């Protein structure tokens, strides 16, 4: 958990009261103007880690993954009983690890993806490189069509892909004309 105070972004000196109140004031150390917008979460503490409680009675339900720990909650997606250790809170739902893995690949993929290939930009850079090496023209065109079919987390920047396609077409046509001229 972060234990450092709210501080100036530049010199890391602690913020003044006025800055914490949301007024743009100079830092007490480096004199750079700054401020902070505070939310109630700043005053709270992280919940204590849940390690699960041992089964106290034979009739008590146990965790699906830990037979000796008592079930505290059921998975909102698959219904498995979960102890404090196995319970994962995601968007205010209780989820087990298996469902998290499945969700990351399936319906919640957009919220779990951490990185992705930027096919539009890759196609554009390939098209630019193709200005010097025309054989890359078809490659840029192919990358554009891959970009069209690829699922992206955020909407694509279409003009980049279209520019890559146009350049790719021009380079391909130019390469074919050059080949024909050499052949003839």
Partner 1 sequence: MAKATDKPRVYTKRLAQAGGNSLWLAEDHVMQISGGWNFTETYRRFYFRDIQAITERQTKQGVVTTVTTGGILLLVVAFVALVVGIGSENTPYGLITGLIGFAVVAVPVTVMVAMNGRDVLVRFRTATQEVGISAIASQKVLAKVLAEIGPKILAAQADMDAENLQERTVAKNASLLERSTRRFSSVRSPGKTPRPSTPVKPMAAGRPGGSEGVSPMAADAVAEGWDDAEEPDADASADAAADALAGIPNMGAPAESPAESPDAATDDNDAAGDGDAGRPAL
Residue 105 lies near partner 1 (rule: CB under 8 A): no
Distance CA 47, CA 177 (A): 69
**Cβ pair 83, 52 in contact under 8 A:** yes
Residue 44 lies near partner 1 (rule: CB under 8 A): yes
List, in order, residues 6 or more apart from 67 with CB less than 8 Å away.
55
Structure tokens at 163: 């520019």
List, in order, residues 6 or more apart from 176 with CB less than 8 Å away.
none
Size of the chain in residues: 184
Residue 36 lies near partner 1 (rule: CB under 8 A): yes
Distance CA 162, CA 141 (A): 10
* Closest listed residue to residue 65, CA positions, set 92, 95, 97: 97
Which one of residues 32, 50, 60, 68 is an interface residue with partner 1 (CB under 8 A)?
32
Residue 14 lies near partner 1 (rule: CB under 8 A): yes
Identity of the residue, 14 or 175, whose beta carbon is nearer to partner 1 in the bound complex: 14
Handedness of CA 10, 15, 16, 17 (dihedral sign): positive
CB of 22 to partner 1, least distance (A): 9
Identity of the residue, 24 or 105, whose beta carbon is nearer to partner 1 in the bound complex: 24
Interface with partner 1 by CB under 8 A: which range of 39-47, 72-80, 95-103, 163-171? 39-47
Residue 111 lies near partner 1 (rule: CB under 8 A): yes
Residue 27 lies near partner 1 (rule: CB under 8 A): yes
CB of 183 to partner 1, least distance (A): 35
CB of 89 to partner 1, least distance (A): 10
Which one of residues 63, 75, 122, 140 is an interface residue with partner 1 (CB under 8 A)?
122
Q: What is the dihedral of CA 126, 130, 133, 135, to 10 degrees?
A: 80
Residues that bind partner 1 (CB under 8 A): 1-6, 8-15, 17, 20-21, 24, 27-29, 32-44, 46, 91, 107, 110-111, 113-118, 121-122, 125, 148, 153-155, 157
């Amino acid at each position: 958990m972060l234990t450092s105070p709210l501080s100036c972004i530049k010199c890391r000196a602690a913020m003044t009261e006025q800055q914490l109140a949301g007024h743009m004031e100079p830092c007490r150390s480096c004199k750079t103007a700054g401020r902070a917008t505070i939310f109630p979460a700043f005053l709270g503490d992280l919940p204590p880690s849940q390690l699960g409680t041992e089964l106290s009675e034979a009739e008590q339900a146990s965790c699906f993954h830990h037979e000796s720990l008592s079930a505290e909650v059921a998975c909102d997606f698959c219904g498995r009983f979960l102890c404090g250790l196995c319970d994962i809170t995601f968007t205010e739902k209780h989820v087990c690890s298996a469902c998290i893995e499945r969700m990351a690949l399936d319906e919640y993929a957009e919220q779990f993806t951490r990185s992705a290939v930027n096919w539009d930009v890759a196609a554009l850079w390939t098209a630019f490189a193709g200005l010097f090496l025309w054989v890359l023209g078809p490659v840029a065109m192919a990358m554009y069509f891959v970009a069209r079919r690829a699922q992206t987390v955020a909407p694509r920047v279409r003009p980049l892909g279209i520019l890559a396609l146009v350049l790719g077409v021009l380079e391909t046509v130019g390469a074919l004309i050059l080949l024909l001229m050499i052949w003839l």
